[in-house]
Chain A
Amino acid sequence: MTIRIENLSVTFDGFHALKSVSIAVDKGESFGLVGESGSGKSTLLRAVAGLAPVSAGTIEVNGEALLGNRRSRAFRRAVQMVFQDPYASLHPRQTVDRQLLEPLAIHGIGDGERRILKALDEVGLGSSFRFRYPHQLSGGQRQRVAIARALIVEPEILLLDEPTSALDASVQAEVLNLLEEVRGRHGLTYVMVSHDLGVVTHMCGRLAVMKSGEVVETLAATDLAGGRMVSDYSRRLMVASKGFSREVAPV
């Protein structure tokens, strides 16, 4: 088991964002998180990264229990997170080049020039983007820089929060293929949040459905796709994923 989360609770000022959540993700697995907006998906990823006020429960990564919000340097290389809001991953006053160089420097990884050009190329950004600042990029270009930044240190575990939500279908397909290819090649483990059930079922073998700070159901992606779910909420999500219809539009 690479990630084992048991009875995890996160509380902000008396508000229970996560209520005793448990999930377990195997090494090399790609695990999805879907569910209601505000249900605690990002909070769950942030808790693993040591960025949320955990009030109860345990998080174990690679067999090691994580205490509080302290994370070792080795952890910070092995586990990379792509934030939902790409601005949050990126430093506003640093060029793309600096942002990609920094994690390499921190973790003592050489060959920066080549790695930076390769990382940019892999996410479909040419070298002409190298010296831009985040505000000089489009939403999807920023998101791709954040992905490049997470991949450049060759992590073991990727926590991906809506990694392709700002990408058009053509670039999304490239990024999803890249993520699958990297995972296949290096046996990475992914935990991936997405509102797009097509994307989650494409990328993940199993997934958890969340609502109001709780996991309502954990199931195989093929079961979701095949309509074999137990909770009403999962069923409602599947119906809604068919698209907008004026006939059934809520009044």
Chain B
Amino acid sequence: MTPLLTVGNLSVTYPTRTGIIEAVRGVSFELGRERLGIVGESGSGKSQTGRAIMGLTPPPGIVRADALSFSGVDLLAATPSTWRDMRGSRLAMILQDPKFSLNPVMTIGRQITETLRHHENVSKREARHRALEMLEAVQISDPERVFSLYPHEVSGGMGQRAMIAMMLVCGPELLIADEPTSALDVTVQLEVLGILDRLVRDKGMGLIFISHDLRLVSSFCDRVLVMYAGRIVEELATADLGGATHPYTRGLLDCTPKIGESRHPLPVLERRKEWAA
């Protein structure tokens, strides 16, 4: 079976006045209809990897790869019109800063209905109905009110859920979720994960789940990639997380504060130069 997504030797660089920033350095992986977690240090290139797959690397960023293909489509050669058709419908990404990524001058409801109407031939009424349903599915308790609010009028977690609703409304085949639940309380978090889980299981969606929450990743994903300084340093089945060998991954497991523990100060990592080699 050909994988849903193939990423071969992906690199993303930014030329700046003071030199070149290497955000992603030679990342390779394949994704099937599964839940793949990506964890890694702040600044290690997780979001930049996701954005490059989606063709959303901002200028002056330069994306290079030996292979970048989605369901047989060569993404490196995709034209703007191919992207317009695919992005939001077949491939979608929940961005890390949802409130910043949403259009500030358009209501939440209108952003969802427009996404839907851009990709599917549905009436205004039907679009509104589906948008409200989607908002309800992500546990927005008063969808009618939130539908008519602007991004600056919703809470952090509501903005995050609005973005999730917008990205799921067309039923994508591949979803990249960048810290999709970091602003959600734990009960809502589980509901949202339940939705993503069912999309993978029942609809065969492929999911890349970027998160720094090891506890969530280990309970939710099938496999996990660990990134450090632009590279994948370790790949594990989540069941084997406890057997991680890279010192960064091992350190991570140790420095999370846990309920009912008292460790002051928390242990911190002794980062080594060779990890970033």
Whether the Cβ atoms of A195 and B184 lie closer than 8 Å is yes
**A201 shortest CB reach to chain B, Å:** 5
Residues in chain B near residue A171, CB distance under 8 A:
41-42
Whether the Cβ atoms of A169 and B96 lie closer than 8 Å is no
Cross-chain contact of A240 among B157, B187, B267 (Cβ < 8 A): B187
Whether the Cβ atoms of B182 and A165 lie closer than 8 Å is yes
Residues in chain B near residue A34, CB distance under 8 A:
185
Contact indicator per residue, chain B 54-89, by CB within 8 Å of chain A (1) or not (0): 000010000000000000000000000000000000
Residues in chain A near residue B179, CB distance under 8 A:
139, 165-166
Whether the Cβ atoms of B266 and A177 lie closer than 8 Å is yes
Residues in chain B near residue A131, CB distance under 8 A:
17-18
Q: Which of A139, A166, A202 is packed against the most chain B CB atoms within 10 Å?
A: A139
Residues in chain A near residue B3, CB distance under 8 A:
none
Residues in chain A near residue B44, CB distance under 8 A:
168
Rounded to whole angstroms, the CA-CA distance of A183 and B262 in the bound complex is: 17
Contact indicator per residue, chain A 38-49, by CB within 8 Å of chain B (1) or not (0): 110111000000
Rounded to whole angstroms, the CA-CA distance of A195 and B21 in the bound complex is: 33
Contact indicator per residue, chain A 237-251, by CB within 8 Å of chain B (1) or not (0): 110110111100111
Q: Which of B21, B39, B268 is packed against the most chain A CB atoms within 10 Å?
A: B268
Q: Which residue of B lies closest to A85 (CB)?
A: B99
Residues in chain A near residue B190, CB distance under 8 A:
240, 244, 249-250
A219 sits at the interface (CB 8 A):
no
Whether the Cβ atoms of B157 and A37 lie closer than 8 Å is yes
B1 sits at the interface (CB 8 A):
no
Cross-chain contact of B260 among A15, A161, A226 (Cβ < 8 A): A226
Whether the Cβ atoms of B186 and A42 lie closer than 8 Å is no
8 A Cβ contacts from A116-174 to B: 128, 131, 135-141, 144, 161-162, 165-174
**B190 shortest CB reach to chain A, Å:** 5
Whether the Cβ atoms of B194 and A180 lie closer than 8 Å is no
Q: Which residue of A lies closest to B21 (CB)?
A: A136
Q: Which residue of A lies closest to B252 (CB)?
A: A169
Residues in chain B near residue A42, CB distance under 8 A:
155-156
8 A Cβ contacts from B71-125 to A: 96-97, 99-100
Rounded to whole angstroms, the CA-CA distance of A188 and B269 in the bound complex is: 26
8 A Cβ contacts from B219-249 to A: 219-220, 248
Whether the Cβ atoms of B187 and A237 lie closer than 8 Å is yes
Rounded to whole angstroms, the CA-CA distance of A38 and B264 in the bound complex is: 31
| A225-B260, A240-B186, A241-B259 as given contacts; A166 in contact with B156, CB under 8 Å | no
Rounded to whole angstroms, the CA-CA distance of A199 and B215 in the bound complex is: 13
B191 sits at the interface (CB 8 A):
yes
| A170-B251, A176-B266 as given contacts; A138 in contact with B258, CB under 8 Å | no
Residues in chain B near residue A226, CB distance under 8 A:
260
Contact indicator per residue, chain B 15-26, by CB within 8 Å of chain A (1) or not (0): 011100100000
8 A Cβ contacts from B137-163 to A: 140-141, 145, 153-159, 161
Whether the Cβ atoms of B186 and A245 lie closer than 8 Å is no
B40 sits at the interface (CB 8 A):
yes
Rounded to whole angstroms, the CA-CA distance of A76 and B275 in the bound complex is: 42
Whether the Cβ atoms of A197 and B186 lie closer than 8 Å is yes
Q: Which residue of B lies closest to A199 (CB)?
A: B257
Whether the Cβ atoms of B255 and A173 lie closer than 8 Å is yes
| A36-B185, A37-B188, A195-B184 as given contacts; A166 in contact with B197, CB under 8 Å | no
Q: List 18 A-B contacts (CB under 8 A).
A: A12-B153, A37-B161, A42-B156, A85-B99, A85-B159, A138-B42, A138-B46, A167-B212, A168-B39, A170-B251, A173-B269, A176-B265, A176-B266, A196-B213, A201-B260, A202-B263, A240-B186, A244-B197
Given A39-B185, A136-B21, A140-B43, 5 extra CB contacts under 8 A: A85-B100, A85-B159, A169-B212, A170-B252, A249-B194
- Residues of A at under 8 Å CB distance from B? 12, 15, 34-39, 41-43, 84-88, 128, 131, 135-141, 144, 161-162, 165-174, 176-177, 180-181, 195-199, 201-203, 224-226, 236-238, 240-241, 243-246, 249-251
